[in-house]
A and B are shown apart, each in its own frame.
Chain A
Amino acid sequence: MTTFIDQEASRRDFLFIATGTVGAAGTALALWPFIDQMNPDASVLALASTEFDMAPLAEGQGVTIKWRGKPVFIRHRTKEEIEKAKKTPLAELKDPVARNANLPPDAPATDENRVKDATGKVNEKYLVQIGICTHLGCVPLGEAGEYHGWFCPCHGSVYDTAGRIRKGPAPRNLDIPPYKYVSDTKIVIG
């Protein structure tokens, strides 16, 4: 190589660089399939939606159902729970946005916005949320913690009766999945 250094760019230099570039670009492109194969595959993406009828839930009763392999909390809230959630000033919330997949991403975290479905229907009795702590993914315990909403046993995150984060390391309110009412008590999630 040293003998070429002082000379002008030669045909050989050009071929060296061109070959190296094609080799590097080709390797980089070939890497993508190896990375992308780890993403969720077609069978995972094709998961259907889930229907649930909330009529049998008595006041103060909650259930956990499965949607896309994740737990979904459905709770028939008591009057006091709704009352408490509504009275909380937004300024006191750690996460001021609703985190409701049925609303624009900047919708404020009012109690009403936490129970709104995709069509804008509100039935404040029924709270539907993904039961996964927004910290590191544990399933919080119901009717527990300082605000008698949810308490995550893993690292101590505390959620209120509208599923909004109040204390602990979790950064966001519990997520509300996309869902809509198909009758007064029946919903379709997803």
Chain B
Amino acid sequence: MSGHATYEFKNPIVRWIEARLPIFSVMKAQAMDFPTPRNLNYWWTFGGIAATMLVMQILTGIVLVMHYTPHVSMAFDSVEGIMRDVNYGWLIRWLHANGASFFFIAVYIHMFRGLYYGSYKAPREVLWMIGVLIFLAMMATAFMGYVLPWGQMSYWGAVVITNLFSAIPVVGDPIVQWLWGGFSVGNPTLQRFFSLHYLLPFVLAALVFLHIWALHVVGNNNPDGIDVKSEQDTLPFHPFYTMKDLYAILVFFLVYLAFVFYSPWYLGHAINFAKADPMVTPPHIVPEWYFLPFYAMLRAVPDKLGGVVVMFASIIILFFLPWLDRSPVRSARYRPLYRFFFWLLVIDGIFLGIVGSQPPEGWWIPAGRIATTWYFIHFLVVLPLLSQIERPKPMPASITEAVLSRGGH
């Protein structure tokens, strides 16, 4: 965390390299000795889980590209070829398709962890904002990846999402044609999405690097939300947290692989097993589950531009979170009112997801509007207000005291 620790290495080759590029001392200081609060719970393992999923996506993706053909007349069949002909192709493809879902599960839990424990507050604002950028880049990557198998849902998802940009006044239509490279979603669109789908995960990897760099400048937050005061409050990252993370990754993979092996299509849509048909929209088009809350917000507003603005605003607002919540207390553990509203936001988010999965009719329309309004009220009204009126519970003097008072060790 601080200064440059000086290490003496015994191995002469290591010493030779170290004198020219100090990579061994950096690795040791940042990945092994890094002082980490001793009270981190399992919610802190989801960062490592998410990073592991990114690696899985890159590995399986590179293998898929060896067999996939990015052309409208061959893409669908090449994916079927991966499923039926390529040795273990079915495994690689289901790892990749379900991997996207489990990547989002990990990242959503990771983000809500940040919300609950106030990890976005000073001095972690930049760390948090890089996180929001990662979330945006992930959404773009997953959206373009989903287009590649060129099924009905791939195609119509691409049509609806690219058309969002047509809501921009004056330049909207030229922008959409520029995105498409034509007058409708077609082969040029598929090819550029393929190129970008390959590129963006590496941009993500670079953002993750910056995210971890920022983390290692300011240090981890922790469940009590209080600063590390002495060495007593910390443990070296290795072996304590490398092992805890590894254990969590293994349990997470148990669930992930259960889906891959026993119901690999459960999280997808059957209609994507039908080849894209630009002349017929399927009766009920919905995005993948991880986009549903945002889709619900898009549809909540009965105006095209309005819906698009609200949807993007729901994510942009996260950049401002460190300045919307002004309470000096980080952890919801010591903020009884905030804790209540946090869980209300979780329910609101899940409910928006359900609304997004339903056809836009009847009762679901007002329900979506109320839930969307609440989302914004939470960030724009509730959080600033709570920082004024809430009386936090008494805080322990140090992490060590907090741990010992709960009978820990």
Q: Which A residues between 123 and 182 are near B, CB-CB below 8 angstroms?
A: 135-141, 152-156, 168-171
**Does A69 touch B at the CB level, under 8 Å?**
yes
Nearest-neighbor residue (CB-CB) of B164 within chain A: A136
Which residues of chain A have C-beta atoms less than 8 A from B283's C-beta? Answer: 141, 153
Whether the Cβ atoms of A39 and B181 lie closer than 8 Å is yes
Contact with B along A3-33 (1 / 0, CB 8 A): 0000000000000000000000000000000
Per the CB 8 Å criterion, the residue count for chain B at the interface is: 38
Nearest-neighbor residue (CB-CB) of B158 within chain A: A137
Cβ distance B296 to chain A, nearest Cβ, rounded Å = 11
- Give Cα A168 to B361, complex, Å: 10
**Does A121 touch B at the CB level, under 8 Å?**
no
**Does A86 touch B at the CB level, under 8 Å?**
no
Cβ distance B302 to chain A, nearest Cβ, rounded Å = 5
Q: Which B residues between 296 and 329 are near A, CB-CB below 8 angstroms?
A: 298-299, 301-305, 307
Nearest-neighbor residue (CB-CB) of B301 within chain A: A169
**Does A106 touch B at the CB level, under 8 Å?**
no
Of B166, B281, B302, which is within 8 A of A138 by CB? B281
**Does B159 touch A at the CB level, under 8 Å?**
yes
- Give Cα A176 to B192, complex, Å: 30
**Does A92 touch B at the CB level, under 8 Å?**
no
Contact (A71, B302) CB under 8 Å given A38-B178, A154-B160 = no
Cβ distance A65 to chain B, nearest Cβ, rounded Å = 9
Of B182, B184, B299, which is within 8 A of A169 by CB? B299
- Give Cα A136 to B304, complex, Å: 8
Nearest-neighbor residue (CB-CB) of B186 within chain A: A69
Which residues of chain A have C-beta atoms less than 8 A from B183's C-beta? Answer: 40, 44, 47, 68-70
Among B179, B182, B280, chain A packs the most CB atoms within 10 A around the CB of: B182
- Give Cα A41 to B188, complex, Å: 9
**Does B285 touch A at the CB level, under 8 Å?**
yes
**Does A64 touch B at the CB level, under 8 Å?**
yes
Q: Which B residues between 152 and 185 are near A, CB-CB below 8 angstroms?
A: 156, 159-164, 166, 177-184
Contact (A139, B281) CB under 8 Å given A41-B181, A169-B303 = yes
Whether the Cβ atoms of A169 and B307 lie closer than 8 Å is yes
Whether the Cβ atoms of A139 and B279 lie closer than 8 Å is yes
Nearest-neighbor residue (CB-CB) of B303 within chain A: A169
Whether the Cβ atoms of A38 and B281 lie closer than 8 Å is no
- Give Cα A124 to B161, complex, Å: 35
Of B164, B182, B192, which is within 8 A of A40 by CB? B182
Whether the Cβ atoms of A136 and B278 lie closer than 8 Å is no
- Give Cα A169 to B163, complex, Å: 13
- The prevalent SS among residues of A at the interface is loop
- Give Cα A152 to B163, complex, Å: 15
- Give Cα A154 to B157, complex, Å: 10
Cβ distance A145 to chain B, nearest Cβ, rounded Å = 11
**Does A84 touch B at the CB level, under 8 Å?**
no
**Does A66 touch B at the CB level, under 8 Å?**
yes
Q: What range describes how many residues of A lie at the interface? A: 20 to 34
Contact with B along A50-84 (1 / 0, CB 8 A): 00000000000000101011110000000000000
Among A44, A64, A135, A136, chain B packs the most CB atoms within 10 A around the CB of: A136
Cβ distance A52 to chain B, nearest Cβ, rounded Å = 15
**Does B360 touch A at the CB level, under 8 Å?**
yes
- Give Cα A8 to B162, complex, Å: 54
Cβ distance A49 to chain B, nearest Cβ, rounded Å = 13
Of A138, A140, A156, A170, which is within 8 A of B285 by CB? A138
Cβ distance B99 to chain A, nearest Cβ, rounded Å = 28
Of A47, A68, A138, A141, which is within 8 A of B156 by CB? A138
Cβ distance B306 to chain A, nearest Cβ, rounded Å = 9
- Give Cα A141 to B305, complex, Å: 23
Of A64, A135, A168, A171, which is within 8 A of B279 by CB? A64
- Give Cα A139 to B305, complex, Å: 20
Which residues of chain B have C-beta atoms less than 8 A from A141's C-beta? Answer: 283
Which residues of chain B have C-beta atoms less than 8 A from A169's C-beta? Answer: 299, 301-304, 307
Which residues of chain A have C-beta atoms less than 8 A from B160's C-beta? Answer: 136-138, 154
Nearest-neighbor residue (CB-CB) of A36 within chain B: B178
Of A69, A153, A168, which is within 8 A of B278 by CB? A69
Whether the Cβ atoms of A39 and B177 lie closer than 8 Å is yes
- Give Cα A138 to B302, complex, Å: 16
Whether the Cβ atoms of A137 and B182 lie closer than 8 Å is no
Of B159, B184, B192, B285, which is within 8 A of A38 by CB? B192
Cβ distance A134 to chain B, nearest Cβ, rounded Å = 8
- Give Cα A44 to B181, complex, Å: 8
Among A38, A152, A168, chain B packs the most CB atoms within 10 A around the CB of: A38
**Does B10 touch A at the CB level, under 8 Å?**
no
Whether the Cβ atoms of B159 and A137 lie closer than 8 Å is yes
Given contacts A136-B159, A139-B279, 8 further A-B contacts (CB under 8 A): A39-B177, A41-B181, A136-B161, A136-B166, A136-B304, A138-B159, A138-B160, A154-B285
19 cross-chain CB contacts under 8 A? A38-B178, A40-B181, A41-B181, A44-B186, A44-B188, A47-B183, A66-B278, A68-B184, A69-B184, A136-B166, A137-B162, A137-B163, A138-B156, A138-B281, A153-B281, A153-B282, A154-B156, A155-B298, A169-B302
Among all A-B residue pairs, the 10 with the closest Cβ atoms: A136-B163, A137-B163, A138-B281, A156-B360, A69-B184, A139-B281, A136-B160, A137-B159, A44-B182, A68-B183
